[in-house]
Chain A
Amino acid sequence: SAVISQKPSRDICQRGTSLTIQCQVDSQVTMMFWYRQQPGQSLTLIATANQGSEATYESGFVIDKFPISRPNLTFSTLTVSNMSPEDSSIYLCSVGRLAGVQDTQYFGPGTRLTVL
């Protein structure tokens, strides 16, 4: 398994500002993923972050709005830029230890973001 921590655990922000969420893993992992879970909805994949390459964004998500860094095999950040109330959500980091669709994903505790 993998132990994942996220910072901050929650935040309340003003519209127009940006927030950077950190994801730290206790061991080196190949795949890191960022999800958004809006109130009452399921998890939506924002992007896949692999070390040493650009993040791959899903339809509806763009790098200017959600820039991601992956400087090494144990750490990643997601920035939510120019926030609006519609960005209020739980943001989750997850990791996969192996490459392959049969791999289990391990999830962080999430960051609960409220935008006023």
Chain B
Amino acid sequence: AQRVTQPEKLLSVFKGAPVELKCNYSYSGSPELFWYVQYSRQRLQLLLRHISRESIKGFTADLNKGETSFHLKKPFAQEEDSAMYYCALGFYSGGYQKVTFGTGTKLQVIP
């Protein structure tokens, strides 16, 4: 079955320190992976997706099929990065497209 695992419920880092939010997935097909973010009192929104190979707000994520990982990284954390981050996997099941989310990691950037 498709699964997304985010092992850390909470990650605390100091401002200016590097950030890595871990995400591992299990899926037998070709994965489509996303990172969604939810800032305090805001709705869930897309941060980035692997197919775009983009850097958003300094964040990058590389799909490693060998390790089945899609870790989110940023070299220097900023206070405004404090938020809830969800890794997500898009896939087809029974002819329908679906998305399964990880349990989320709360990033806390300490001033």
Q: A48-B96, A102-B32, A102-B49 are in contact. Are A108 and B43 (CB under 8 A)?
A: yes
B residues apposed to A, CB below 8 Å: 32, 34, 36, 43-46, 49, 51, 86, 90-92, 94, 96-104
Interface set of A (CB-CB < 8 Å, partner B):
31, 33, 41-43, 45, 48, 56, 58, 92, 94, 96, 99-110
CB distance from A15 to the nearest CB of B (A): 28
CB distance from B73 to the nearest CB of A (A): 21
* Residue with the highest number of chain B CB atoms closer than 10 Å, among A43, A45, A48: A43
- B-side contacts of A103, CB under 8 Å: 90, 97
B52, chain A: closest CB distance, angstroms: 9
User: B81 to chain A: closest CB distance in Å?
Assistant: 19
A-B residue pair count with CB separations less than 8 angstroms: 52
**Cβ-defined contact, B43 with A107, below 8 A:** yes
Closest 4 A/B residue pairs (Cβ): A101-B90, A107-B44, A42-B103, A43-B101
| Contacting residues, chain A, for B51 (C-beta < 8 A) | 102
Is there contact, CB below 8 Å, between A100 and B97? yes
Chain A residues, Cβ within 8 Å of B36: 105
Name the residue on A nearest B30 (C-beta): A101
Contact A42 B43 (CB under 8 A): no
Given A48, A92, A110, which contacts B98 in the complex, CB threshold below 8 Å?
A: A48
CB distance B49 to A101 under 8 Å? no
